[in-house]
Amino acid sequence: MPFDFYQPPHRILMGPGPSMVDPRVYQAMAAPLVGHTDPDFFGVLEDTSELLRYVFGTRNKFTIAISGTGTAGMEAAVVNFVEAGTKVAVFANGYFSDRFTDMCARQGANVVRSEKPWGSVYSDEEARAFIECEKPQIVMFVHAETSTGAYQPAAAICAAAHECGALTIADCVTSLGGMPVEVDANGIDIAYSGTQKCLGAPPGLAPLTLSGKAVERLRSRESACVSWYVDLKLIDEYWGNSHRYHHTTPITMFYALREALRLCHQETKEARFARHRLNHLAFVAGIEAMGLEMLVAREDRLWTLQTPRLPDGCNDGELRRYLLTEFGIEVLGGFGPLAGKVLRVGLMGASSRRQYVLLLLGALGTYLGERGGVAAAETVYERKAWRGGFL
Ligand SMILES: *Cc1c(COP(=O)(O)O)cnc(C)c1O
């Protein structure tokens, strides 16, 4: 045999995704295939919808997972709801709203953008003023911006959008399963995510949920969706009662997602969010004890993706190589306006653990010659200083 069986190196995945996968999810993936139209497999899809409703915080009937990574979820949101001439308002404060803008432009949409520096978020007043001024048909924002570590609250944006009859699209790729998304309470019409960030499965599926109003708009659309593969009307016929063949769903990925969601359900959302928040607070305490600063203002930070600023003269590539070769830890750097300025540290899903937080702080401390990070984090764990509400 010229090629050996591939044996990956042991890695601790603490970048912006993929994150660590629980052994039970790998175990689920080793199960033999059934066909994608096997009556038993439709039970797997039903379970997946039901569990997704739980993590999304929704009663939306239309709750599915698209075949493809998070980007496929974004593409499905665009091509099904944005046509030539559709007026789309985008809150542009990071990379993923730029990607969304590009997709809309390719549909010939009329895109208007409210720009803010990377790492900042929109106040309720700013959000409302932009929407009232533009009166768009679609409003898009990134709930958890993975390129910056900033958290954008959803409620005020959705309320203002609904007042002018617009539908809202929220990118929840880095929040779903790690922070409250609460689709119904916030009034999000179209939410999509990915499996490999806070849900703790490998990349390959994009959870997506549509409100009743979004389903109505989808049904009343006259032109055919330009994409056949992510046409939600066609995909709905496969998930719905007629179970009409559309494409061969990635069976094994559904085993993985179902098990990952079952683990979320077993842990409970509340405990899971509290765990993400606690590890976030402990990590930040450790970073600050080493004299480093966080990019994002305290009240705007994600619990799932942290962006400590690199100290002056610290080479991001060299530091990341050190972490990878000495400790097997993967973290990524910043890009775009943040290139060379920050680290992007994911504490998502199964990667959000005390043992990983302490290991990374210890490794960073050794590299930077700054002790005290681990002790500061331990103080947070001892105090369990996370009592109280979310954010
Ligand atoms: C990762 C990510 C995506 C894209 O997901 P892929 O799985 O890489 O296709 C989209 N939006 C946000 C906010 C992300 O973090």
Does the pLDDT of residue 389 top 50, yes or no?
Answer: no
pLDDT range class, residue 388, cuts 50, 70, 90: very low
Ligand 1 center–CA 42 separation, angstroms: 27
Compute the distance between CA of residue 140 and CA of residue 167 in angstroms, rounded to an integer: 9
Fold entry, domain 268-383: Aspartate Aminotransferase, domain 1 (3.90.1150)
Ligand 1 center–CA 15 separation, angstroms: 12
Write down the pLDDT at residue 309: 98
Ligand 1 center–CA 67 separation, angstroms: 14
Of 355, 353, 349, whose CA–CA distance to 374 is shortest? Answer: 355
Q: Which CATH architecture has domain 23-266?
A: 3-Layer(aba) Sandwich (3.40)
Cβ-contact 19, 12 below 8 angstroms: no
* Residues 233, 235, 241: CA angle, nearest 5 degrees: 90
In this structure, which amino acid lies at residue 92? Answer: A
Of 92, 80, 213, whose CA–CA distance to 141 is shortest? Answer: 92
Scan for tokens 């959302």, then name that residue. 269
227 phi/psi in degrees, rounded to 5: -100, 130
Write down the pLDDT at residue 2: 84
Compute the distance between CA of residue 340 and CA of residue 361 in angstroms, rounded to an integer: 19
Condensed to tens digits (0 to 9), the pLDDT of residues 22-35 reads 999 999 999 999 99
| Cα-based distances in Å from 8 to 12, 276, 288 | 12, 27, 34
pTM of the full predicted structure?
A: 0.97
Ligand 1 center–CA 194 separation, angstroms: 7
Write down the pLDDT at residue 221: 95
Write down the pLDDT at residue 122: 98
State the DSSP code for 349: G
Compute the distance between CA of residue 95 and CA of residue 50 in angstroms, rounded to an integer: 31
Compute the distance between CA of residue 341 and CA of residue 338 in angstroms, rounded to an integer: 5
pLDDT range class, residue 1, cuts 50, 70, 90: low
Write down the pLDDT at residue 24: 98
What is the overall mean pLDDT for the chain?
A: 96
Write down the pLDDT at residue 391: 34
Write down the pLDDT at residue 384: 72
23-266 and 268-383 share one fold? no
Supply the residue whose CA is at minimum distance from atom 6 of ligand 1.
70
Give 126 or 2, the one with higher predicted confidence. 126
pLDDT range class, residue 243, cuts 50, 70, 90: very high
Condensed to tens digits (0 to 9), the pLDDT of residues 255-313 reads 999 999 999 999 999 999 999 999 999 999 999 999 999 999 999 999 999 999 999 99
Of 303, 207, 209, whose CA–CA distance to 256 is shortest? Answer: 207
Measuring from each residue's beta carbon to the nearest atom of ligand 1, which residues come in under 6 Å? 17, 69-71, 74, 96, 142, 146, 171, 173-174, 194, 203
- CA dihedral sign of residues 11, 373, 301, 97: negative
Scan for tokens 């922070």, then name that residue. 179
Does the pLDDT of residue 180 top 90, yes or no?
Answer: yes
Write down the pLDDT at residue 383: 85
Write down the pLDDT at residue 390: 39
Q: Where are the domains of the chain?
A: 23-266, 268-383
What is the rounded radius of gyration, in angstroms, for the C-alpha atoms of the chain?
21
